[in-house]
Amino acid sequence: MQPTDRLRLMFYEEPLLPEHLDFLPELARHTTVPLATGERLYGRWGFKELISQGAVDLIQPDLSHCGGIFEGRKIAAMAEAYDIGIAPHCPLGPLTLASSMQLDAWTPNFVIQEMSLQMQYNTNGDLQDYIKNKDVFDVTDGYLKLPTLPGLGIEIDGAAVIEANKEGLTRYDRDWHHEDGSIAEW
């Protein structure tokens, strides 16, 4: 029995930096906790080697990074062929979450959906700030209902987007930095 077994962890998220995923099989041999990774991989070719290693239990494609719904579906299908689950990464806005939920709904190996609603790092631009149908992302007993409006199921509040844009665009940067300028991990 591993020390972590008593915790009954669902999975260990991103145990290695993406540039060190070749060490994942070795890590997998030393743990009973399911391993999840992939939120910083891009496109199906980024996932191909990871999936074929057989060392990961869940992949976490981010539709904003991997190429959208269609590419995400291709990635999920590759994972399904290896009995690997999918837990889409989604710390971003309502379009990404709505897109991820559409993918989740028709992906047989879907396990869980990450979202950033009311998360500690989401200090501005919350998921509901830029949509009119704010109840679309209401959580009930730990679940989100699939949006039912046409398209992705959400209605963007154009006036709120224009108002937020008056302050200027905030550049999304994959890297976070410490005060001294050194790169911080996500």
Mean pLDDT by 10 residues, the chain (186 residues): 78 92 92 93 91 94 94 97 96 89 97 80 66 90 91 93 77 68 73
- The whole-model pTM stands at 0.84
Q: Which helix (H) or strand (E) holds 58?
A: strand 58-59
Identify the three-state secondary structure at position 134: helix
Q: Which is nearest to 48 in space by CA: 33, 35, 34, 66? A: 66
Q: What is the pLDDT of residue 92?
A: 79
CATH placement of domain 5-184: 3.20.20.120
Q: What is the pLDDT of residue 68?
A: 95
CA distance 14 to 155: 33
Q: What is the pLDDT of residue 44?
A: 92
Contacts of 125 (CB under 8 A, 6+ apart): 93, 164
CA distance 97 to 114: 9
Contact (CB, 8 A) for 93 and 59:
no
Contact (CB, 8 A) for 44 and 60:
no
Q: Where are the domains of the chain?
A: 5-184
Query: 145-149: long-range contacts (C-beta < 8 A, 24 or more apart)?
Result: 146/101, 146/102, 146/105, 147/98, 147/101
Q: What is the pLDDT of residue 123?
A: 54
